[in-house]
A and B are shown apart, each in its own frame.
Chain A
Amino acid sequence: MKLPINKKVYRDALRRTRIIRIVSLLVGIIMTVNAVDFPGGDAIVSTGIVMMATQATGMLAFLLLGEMIIHGYRRKRKWDFFRTLPASKAEWYWTSLLAEMTNMVLYILVTEAAVVIASFRMERRSMDNLMPGKLRFYPSEHIHRVILLFVIGLVFLAVLSVIRELAHTPASYFVLLLGIVGGYWVILALVPGVVRSYSGNFVSVYMSLFYRMRLFHRLMSTESVSSVTDVLVTAYDTLAILVNLFLAVLLLLFGRRLSDRSRVEFIGAEYRNKPMFYVLTVLLNLFPLLLITYIVVLGGEYKTNILLVPVLIGLIVYFLLRLFREKLSKKFLCCVGLSVILAGIISAATLLYARFGRTLPAREEVIAMRCDYYFPGMVSDKEIMDKLYSFLENEHDNPVTERYEYHEMKISLYTKSGCRQFYINRDITEATEFLPKRRIVPTGIFCSFGKKPKISSEFETYEEYEEFAALLPDWCKKELPVYYVNALGGLSKSGQTVTVGIIDYYRAQFRVYMSMENSFEPQNSIECAFPPDTEAAVYYHEKVCRPQRKAFAEAIRENPKAYLTVVFFKEEDTYDRETYDERWLYTRFSVGGNIVNGTFQQKADNPAFPEEYLQTIYDLILGPEEPITAGMETAEAVVHLYEKSRAYVEDYPKATYTFFVPAEKLKEIMKFYGDIRAEENRQREEEWKKRQEESRQQETPQQEEEGEGS
């Protein structure tokens, strides 16, 4: 069988899209340079999801650009022209697709090569800096990423090819693209909201494309299959890949079929393929309909989104006028009717799901729980879980619908068969009896080991970590086995060891957050706390912190410059006014791309925060008059730290400023920092002693009473 590939068409398509390859190369170079020189660059490289998103976004943008260049805007004239040239329809279709795929593959390879080069360069730099470093190049991971990107790109190309065959004007092309892609996203985003709404704001479902992609990615990263759950997960995700590929192939063949049936060009759906035109218009109608519903009714924040409503109404009016002008009004009205029916079906389905979803899993089935407001990670401590479950059960049986001021709380229940999330509107002062009142924020140090090192490595080796873990109290250790998250979001114990932990010295206690390697929820962790006078605490100070400080001092001595990153953030998902004002400042020091120290400051802990604190840092860095040029990770390149930061903290949940400072200045800043931390530590120790004293006093009368009773 002769392949429908035409060399002339291929050569021409490649020639016309050479700009894409040039830009791809430039992107690759920029990525390589930035990944090394930009602080936190190693984070970009080593955290696959961030990098994948960047790469994938760029790739999709380039694919769209390539589509425009190869297939043109003035579609009718263009295809009239191309159809006269000596090539068959099949050749035009498959060869141009091949050219687009060539560009895509080149883009993926170039950007992935950039990541690999950056990894090696950073590796060397780490060695030069005498900082604890690990090899960051894992061929299998890069291969997995390349395959994943390829599949994503192929699906996108397939969607584009179908749209191309159906659209009859540039406007309708983009409308269809927006409609299909946007509609898909909106439907995915909407379903949990609708479910939640129908269930009395009590339950939601776990559904997003990212979720699916993470499943997919996880499969690509799974190197060994060791248990039944692993097999199930692998089978499920393999199916996901196959479905994606099948979808892509199906769409491409469908696009080809449409092009076969075309009369004039590859376009003109309203004449050639009426059923398809109906389907797509229905989707287009659904898109704004759902969006408005989502924003106005379910979004809750009516005030903040009000501006979007006229924009959407304007868009709808524009499309209506356009369709009427094209004398498609009758068809359009049919489509509106169909859309309403379709929306009704979706609503009915979600309603049923919501009713079903209100059911709480049985208490004994729950393996772990999570309550974002009170603790960042997952808990499996039986006592806490019991209290939390009872609280949830009470809410479930006696829902309180009217409260003037409330905090929205999300509680997740993990069972073997899946994860279910429940939303509760709760007064902030209630339901705190079983948990610490304040949300715990990790203020400590990231440590990582195992096959995929993370940002920083506090422990040089896994053995060192094990040595540390052996010193932990027994009740803490029982939390250490990691739960394996299965494809349905459920948990199972598969005897995996902890791979990532966050150790936090907070309020006279160490807290260990254990993240799970196989989790696709980045914040999944297990929390346990122990007093500071244990062997583990001593070990942590002596074996972990001290060598690190030494290494940091050496790094400062060896390097003429270092980086200081200041991250401002406020709690994103809290609504009560009290915590709203508690903005956080995270200051992170990094040398040679490695974070060597970091701390969190909060206004409640330090009354001078943020103004005086920022002013001090500002003065220390560049002096009181001079504005700071910051390599911001957000939008602007130049920012006056002191003035702008306040605005950013107000408006955005997180804003990051990174700038380099001379080593001399850094020492001063460190000293300033050290003073603050010393004061904090002193306060915490006092508090700890006070609490110890209080509990001792409480125990004494009880013992006396018991003594008397006996």
Chain B
Amino acid sequence: MITVKNITKTFDGQTALANLSCEIPDGRIYGLVGSNGAGKSTLLRIMAGIFKPDSGEVDYDGVPVFDNPAVKEQFIFVPDDLYFLPGANMKRMAKFYKNFYPNFSMERFEHLTNVLKLNTGKALSGFSKGMRRQAATVLALSCRPKYYFFDETFDGLDQIMRDTVKKLIYEDICERGVTAVLTSHSLRELDNTCDELALLHQGKIVFSHEVEDIKTAAKKVQVAFAENVTKEEFMELCNGKALSVRCEGRVVQAILNKGAEETEARIREKNPVLLEILPLSLEEIFTYEMEALGYSFDTNGKEGTDETSNQ
């Protein structure tokens, strides 16, 4: 289990992570989402022992990670900005990793390169962006560590390749029961991949839940009443459980958080002309949550001016 305890990290006076804590159980796919600059990559780098936190610590089964080679042998980090040894090809990189990771499997490496049809003898500098990403993923999967850290790992991959890579990661996790932490600013990427998702905003985890819980918890409601309804009246009806409310005369559109069933019952008591309850995609939930946190832009470029936001 990875335990992140009260991590704070500042860069040149700017706080990247503020007293952040979380726990990532073994055998899970943990997704980190958030706006640009939310602190996803910083958190991942602290978890990978690249950054040293100003305060707090990260440990793996109780053992701190920073500057600890024994712990670092257990994970591999695939960064957003990939790095390969100058002039190296995949074979050279495989030898390099084999040197450092005792579980590195050449058979798996060959198998994966065959699946993805990668030329192992060609210099990586001659690969396209997507191919470099594939190569990094193959190398990481061949190391067979206990933990994977993928930072924006699907960047540059086409849809088919994304699915293939997801499948490969998923298979490895299922087969060996390992843990993966993925970051993305796009929830669509993590929608059907992660077991658990954490939303980061301004260096803090805003929420962290099982994906299925999130999907079932939040719902989109469209209601048409017989008479005009104000936003305040509807908010009162929802008992503060609406993430977002938009009123236009008699029609109300709202996103309901936990306890949507109770709210639905209370709305029904008002005898609406029309009541529709729709499931939300993770992307929509993310957007509404961010809007609720004041992270939105109007056309004039002003941040957090959405009048309908509830917080």
State whether these chains interact.
Answer: yes
A interface with B by C-beta (< 8 Å): 6, 8, 11-12, 16, 69, 72, 74, 77-81, 83-91, 263-264, 271
For A11, give the chain B residue with the smallest CB separation: B99
B48 CB–A CB distance under 8 Å: yes
Q: Which of A8, A90, A264 contacts B100 (CB 8 A)?
A: A8
Q: Which of A77, A87, A271 contacts B83 (CB 8 A)?
A: A77
Contact B77 A84 (CB under 8 A): yes
Contact B12 A271 (CB under 8 A): yes
A16-B79 contact, Cβ under 8 Å, with A88-B68, A89-B67, A264-B51: no
B49 CB–A CB distance under 8 Å: yes
Given contacts A80-B83, A84-B48, 20 further A-B contacts (CB under 8 A): A12-B96, A16-B85, A72-B86, A77-B79, A77-B81, A78-B83, A79-B50, A80-B50, A81-B79, A81-B83, A83-B50, A84-B79, A85-B100, A86-B69, A86-B72, A86-B73, A87-B69, A87-B72, A91-B69, A264-B45
How far is A271 from B52 in the complex, measured between Cα atoms in Å? Answer: 14
Per-position binary interface string of chain B over residues 100-134, scored 1 when its CB falls under 8 Å from any chain A CB and 0 otherwise? 11000000000000000000000000000000000
B76 CB–A CB distance under 8 Å: yes
A264-B50 contact, Cβ under 8 Å, with A6-B69, A85-B100, A86-B69: yes
Contact B11 A8 (CB under 8 A): no
Chain A residues with CB under 8 A of B100: 8, 85-87
B87 to chain A, nearest CB (A): 10
Contact A86 B67 (CB under 8 A): no
Most chain B beta carbons < 10 A, residue from A8, A80, A88: A80
A229 to chain B, nearest CB (A): 53
Contact B11 A271 (CB under 8 A): yes
A84-B96 contact, Cβ under 8 Å, with A6-B69, A77-B83, A91-B69: no
How far is A682 from B74 in the complex, measured between Cα atoms in Å? Answer: 91
Most chain A beta carbons < 10 A, residue from B50, B51, B68, B101: B50
How far is A313 from B77 in the complex, measured between Cα atoms in Å? Answer: 45
B70 CB–A CB distance under 8 Å: yes
Contact A74 B83 (CB under 8 A): yes
How far is A638 from B52 in the complex, measured between Cα atoms in Å? Answer: 60
How far is A86 from B51 in the complex, measured between Cα atoms in Å? Answer: 14
A84-B72 contact, Cβ under 8 Å, with A74-B83, A77-B79: yes
For B52, give the chain A residue with the smallest CB separation: A263
Chain A residues with CB under 8 A of B76: 84
How far is A85 from B77 in the complex, measured between Cα atoms in Å? Answer: 9
Which 5 pairs of residues, A with B, have the shortest CB-CB distance? A81-B83, A86-B72, A84-B77, A86-B73, A86-B69
Contact B11 A84 (CB under 8 A): no
Give the number of chain B interface residues (Cβ < 8 Å): 27
A79 to chain B, nearest CB (A): 8
B151 to chain A, nearest CB (A): 10
Most chain B beta carbons < 10 A, residue from A77, A79, A84: A84
How far is A86 from B67 in the complex, measured between Cα atoms in Å? Answer: 9
How far is A18 from B70 in the complex, measured between Cα atoms in Å? Answer: 28
Contact B79 A8 (CB under 8 A): no
For A82, give the chain B residue with the smallest CB separation: B83
How far is A445 from B198 in the complex, measured between Cα atoms in Å? Answer: 87
Chain A residues with CB under 8 A of B67: 88-90
How far is A81 from B96 in the complex, measured between Cα atoms in Å? Answer: 12
Q: Which of A11, A74, A84 contacts B50 (CB 8 A)?
A: A84
For B97, give the chain A residue with the smallest CB separation: A85
Q: List 20 A-B contacts (CB under 8 A).
A: A8-B100, A12-B99, A16-B85, A74-B83, A77-B79, A77-B81, A77-B83, A78-B83, A80-B79, A83-B50, A84-B79, A85-B100, A86-B101, A87-B72, A88-B68, A89-B67, A90-B67, A263-B51, A263-B52, A264-B45
A587 to chain B, nearest CB (A): 50
Most chain A beta carbons < 10 A, residue from B67, B75, B96, B101: B67
Q: Which of B12, B50, B70, B79 contacts A86 (CB 8 A)?
A: B70
For B151, give the chain A residue with the smallest CB separation: A80
Chain A residues with CB under 8 A of B45: 80, 264
How far is A8 from B77 in the complex, measured between Cα atoms in Å? Answer: 18
For B9, give the chain A residue with the smallest CB separation: A263
For A68, give the chain B residue with the smallest CB separation: B86
Per-position binary interface string of chain B over residues 226-241, scored 1 when its CB falls under 8 Å from any chain A CB and 0 otherwise? 0000000000000000
For B75, give the chain A residue with the smallest CB separation: A84
How far is A682 from B247 in the complex, measured between Cα atoms in Å? Answer: 122
B123 to chain A, nearest CB (A): 15
B244 to chain A, nearest CB (A): 38
A432 to chain B, nearest CB (A): 65
B248 to chain A, nearest CB (A): 47
Contact A263 B11 (CB under 8 A): yes
Chain B residues with CB under 8 A of A264: 45, 50-51
Chain B residues with CB under 8 A of A87: 69, 72, 100
How far is A16 from B93 in the complex, measured between Cα atoms in Å? Answer: 12
How far is A88 from B85 in the complex, measured between Cα atoms in Å? Answer: 19
B75 to chain A, nearest CB (A): 8
How far is A91 from B49 in the complex, measured between Cα atoms in Å? Answer: 15
Chain B residues with CB under 8 A of A81: 79, 83
Contact A84 B49 (CB under 8 A): yes
Chain B residues with CB under 8 A of A12: 96, 99
Chain A residues with CB under 8 A of B99: 8, 11-12
How far is A89 from B66 in the complex, measured between Cα atoms in Å? Answer: 10
Near A by CB (< 8 A), chain B positions 122-148 give: none
How far is A678 from B89 in the complex, measured between Cα atoms in Å? Answer: 72
B52 to chain A, nearest CB (A): 7
Chain B residues with CB under 8 A of A84: 48-50, 72, 75-77, 79
B158 to chain A, nearest CB (A): 24
Chain A residues with CB under 8 A of B70: 86
A87 to chain B, nearest CB (A): 5
Chain B residues with CB under 8 A of A74: 83
A605 to chain B, nearest CB (A): 60
Most chain A beta carbons < 10 A, residue from B75, B82, B83: B83
Chain B residues with CB under 8 A of A271: 11-12
Chain A residues with CB under 8 A of B82: 77
How far is A85 from B102 in the complex, measured between Cα atoms in Å? Answer: 12
How far is A78 from B48 in the complex, measured between Cα atoms in Å? Answer: 15
Near A by CB (< 8 A), chain B positions 250-273 give: none
For B87, give the chain A residue with the smallest CB separation: A16
Chain A residues with CB under 8 A of B85: 16
Chain B residues with CB under 8 A of A16: 85
For A81, give the chain B residue with the smallest CB separation: B83
How far is A264 from B12 in the complex, measured between Cα atoms in Å? Answer: 12
How far is A13 from B86 in the complex, measured between Cα atoms in Å? Answer: 13
Chain A residues with CB under 8 A of B49: 83-84
How far is A38 from B81 in the complex, measured between Cα atoms in Å? Answer: 52
Chain A residues with CB under 8 A of B101: 86
Chain B residues with CB under 8 A of A88: 67-69
B51 to chain A, nearest CB (A): 6
How far is A6 from B99 in the complex, measured between Cα atoms in Å? Answer: 11
For A261, give the chain B residue with the smallest CB separation: B52
B37 to chain A, nearest CB (A): 16
How far is A589 from B290 in the complex, measured between Cα atoms in Å? Answer: 88
How far is A87 from B86 in the complex, measured between Cα atoms in Å? Answer: 20
How far is A89 from B99 in the complex, measured between Cα atoms in Å? Answer: 18
Contact A85 B72 (CB under 8 A): yes
Chain A residues with CB under 8 A of B81: 77, 80
